[in-house]
Every structure is written in structure tokens, then in C-alpha cells.
Amino acid sequence: MTQNIIKPVFSMRPETSLLRNNQNFFFPEFTKNIACGVSVFVRLSRIGRCIYKKFAKRYYEEVGIAICFTAIDILQNLQAEHQPADVARCFDFSLSVSPKTVLINEINRNNIDVQLNINGEISQKYNTSQLHFDIDEIISSISQYISFKIGDIILIGLSDTKQIKTGYKLQAYLNDIKMLDFEIE
């Protein structure tokens, strides 16, 4: 009998999807329905490939927060046609990354609180200890398929998505430290 082995699932985004420095997110004209989710990210500090889990911690020194935007109406159309979801997730400025990061040796890498506030109210909250895979497992798994370069970021534990609208204010926290604060225009 074959045993199912669960591995981390990952997707990639081009550099043009990065929204930096707390810039406001501009609602794209090609969609009527945008949702967002919050995630921790690690920034890689070494080049690497086929990394064993026990060595993965050597490949990153800092973590931050990201808010990932998805065009839900486009995603639903693509899924109905059994097409890849890249267009719905990888469009320009669809990934807001915090301008500041926290050194990983200053926190517990497997016990990070993550929170997204929309219009001042808690919308999403989780702790990385609740995830199926820890940071080192994710890095090790992905590195079996993709070579890493310095500066690459890996999202860890994307939360459920929440619909947003023009005029909303988003704030994201890592262990009660405000990492992102911007508006939807």
C-alpha cells in the first residue's frame, strides 16, 4: 500500500508583484473582487539548493509580514476552466511586504503571532506553531525543486482571505509589532 506523504505546497510570484514601503494598494481595474491574507515571510541570506532541514536555519536571518492580494472573480473563472491561478495572484503589486523585519534570533522561529487588522478590527490572527510545517521544513522542501538566491522571500502560513474594498485601512502585526500600515485606494 502506498503511503501519502504530505509536503508543503508553494507558489511563486514575480518581483513585479512586490509592493514595498507601506505604499497604498491600488485596486486594479481588471477585477471587482479583491481579497487578502496575511503571512509571515523569511528573507533568504544565502544561496542554496537541496538544503537538509537541519541546515535550513543557516539560510535566513530575518522575518517580516506580507499581505497577499488575490483577484477572487478572476480566480473563480480560472478554476472553473481548470486553468492555473497565477493571473489572479501574481499581478503587479499583489504582495505587500513589510519594510522592516525582525531578526530571527530575537524571537522563537516556530512560535510567531501574526495578525491582520482591517479598519481597526482584528480580521485574521494565527500563530506559526499551528501550521503543518515549520519554517525549516518549508525551506528544505522547496529547495529540492528550486535554487535560492540571496534576497528571495518565502511566505510561511498564509491565512484565510478576507474581501477588501477601496477606502479600507490594513495593518499587519508580527508578535504585536506593527509591520504594515497602508490603505486601499
For 50-75, the pLDDT digits (tens) are: 999 999 999 999 999 999 999 999 99
Q: Which fold has domain 23-183?
A: Fumarylacetoacetate hydrolase; domain 2 (3.90.850)
Report the distance separating Cα 44 and Cα 138, nearest Å.
13
For 27-53, the pLDDT digits (tens) are: 999 999 999 999 999 999 999 999 999
Contact between residue 60 and residue 102 where contact means Cβ atoms under 8 Å apart:
no
Residues near 27 by beta carbon (within 8 Å), at least 6 away in sequence: 34, 165, 166, 184, 185
Q: DSSP code of 156?
A: E
Contact between residue 45 and residue 57 where contact means Cβ atoms under 8 Å apart:
no
| Cell reading at 4 | 501519502
The mean pLDDT of the chain is 93
Closest CA to 151 of 67, 58, 59, 88: 59
In DSSP notation, 72-96 reads HHHHHHHHHTT--SHHHHSSTT-EE
- The structural domains of the chain, with segments of one domain joined by +, span 23-183
pLDDT of residue 3: 58
Burial letters 71-98, b for 16+ CB under 10 A, else e: bbebbeebeeeeeeeeebbbbebbbbbb
Write down the pTM of the prediction. 0.91
